[in-house]
Amino acid sequence: MYGFSIQLDDSFENAISRVTQLLQAEGFGILTEIDVQATLKKKLGIEGRPYTILGACNPPLAHQALEADPDIGLLLPCNVVVRQEADDSITVAFMDPAAVLGLVNKPGIDALATEVRGKLERVRDALG
């Protein structure tokens, strides 16, 4: 698996707000916010359910990773998906940094990935 998730009984907007606040509490900022629903509508004329990708970054941990391997930027930031399901429930899915950074064979990256995963798991758990 390359991610983990939680199902919420919440509004889409509130879920994004809560995820953003909880990520901030763990030291992450949101570098990018991609409104997939709006992009598909604009580019392809496709009507879809709300779907947003948040690009989350913890600057001190990202710096450590980049120091270990400058090419690790190809695997950053940590993406978090907030999407509305057909039954109107909300899924919040987190990229598993341990799975993604497991591709990097450099000293210290495994421990760093485990630390980042722990932070993201605390966000997931706090949402429930």
pLDDT digits (tens, 9 = 90+) for 61-108: 999 999 999 999 999 999 999 999 999 999 999 999 999 998 898 999
pLDDT given at position 112? 95
pLDDT given at position 99? 94
Q: Where are the domains of the chain?
A: 3-127
**Quick count: other Cβ atoms within 10 Å of Cβ 30?**
16
Q: Which CATH architecture has domain 3-127?
A: 2-Layer Sandwich (3.30)
Model's pTM, two decimal places? 0.95
User: H or E stretch including 41?
Assistant: helix 36-44
